Amino acid sequence: MSRLASAFAAARGSTGLVPFIVAGYPDFATSLALLRGFARQGVRAVEIGVPFSDPIADGPEIQRASERVLRNGDGSDQALALVEALRRESQMPIVLMSYLNPLLRPGFEAFLERARRSGLDGVLVSDLPPDEAPEIWDAIDRIELDSVVLVAPTTDERRLPALLARARGFVYCLARTGVTGAGSGYSGAIPERIESIRRRTDLPVAVGFGISSGHEAARLKGIADAVVVGAAFVRAVDTGSPEGATERVLALSGELIEALA
């Protein structure tokens, strides 16, 4: 059983937190401090985002964070370095969230092999549909990484089986259309969408996009298996002195965990 599967199975019936951070933002040391803090707080898992120059699914907060990291010359290597550093001291499940291009640049299979050796548990390739590039999906399976897939509010019921057949670890259900962070978009009926997913798979279901406070997270308590939060943490980094970034982010994650308890 993978670390992701074990973490969700051990907390069955509860709703956990899955924080997302951009690797290397605002710097490597702070990123690692945040991951260590999340591990101490007992989050369900973490997502580490690989910085990319054209993150079409991300809102302005994550876009700016990615741009800053890339200007410093960092990227996928730094993301795996964070995984390696954290894995020396924690068994918290880690998912790498990326667009396809940054993973193709170093050679996809070589990158995945290094990712597995680093202690990574899963990957979410946000712009790779499950019916495209079968050699990549086969490589993910062969290297024994979980492959997290996205289900949108606009996903057709007839499309769900193909998505869920590709899913490992957990299913990431988008709370609304649009990009990450605060904003509007079509959300539909989230509980009904989660129930539709559950009828077709035994995998846990996490919900993300647009969740930024304990109040918003609490609405999903007992409905989803986890809540994914990312842009709100980037905003917390940016709204004060760099020295206080870790404290601000962990205060927010603590608020979210308490709301879901």
Q: Is residue 61's pLDDT more than 60?
A: yes
Q: pLDDT tens digit string along 80-113? A: 999 999 999 999 999 999 999 988 888 888 999 9
- What pLDDT score was predicted for residue 154? 83
CATH superfamily of 13-145+210-260: Aldolase class I (3.20.20.70)
Nearest to 96 by CA among 75, 60, 120, 63: 120
The pair of three-digit structure tokens given for residue 135, joined into one six-digit string: 């050699």
CB count in 10 Å sphere of residue 88: 7
Q: Is residue 60's pLDDT more than 70?
A: yes
- What pLDDT score was predicted for residue 186? 41
Nearest to 185 by CA among 195, 176, 198: 176
Least confident of 26-30, 44-48, 55-59, 113-117: 55-59
Local confidence band at 43 (pLDDT 50, 70, 90 cut-offs): very high
Q: pLDDT tens digit string along 109-120? A: 899 999 999 999
Distance between CA atoms of residues 238 and 258, nearest Å? 23
User: Which residues belong to the active site?
Assistant: 47, 58
The pair of three-digit structure tokens given for residue 8, joined into one six-digit string: 């969700």
The pair of three-digit structure tokens given for residue 75, joined into one six-digit string: 């990227």
Q: Is residue 140's pLDDT more than 90?
A: yes
In sequence order, the 6+-apart residues with CB closer than 8 A to the CB of 21 are 31, 34, 35, 46, 47, 48, 49, 230, 233, 234
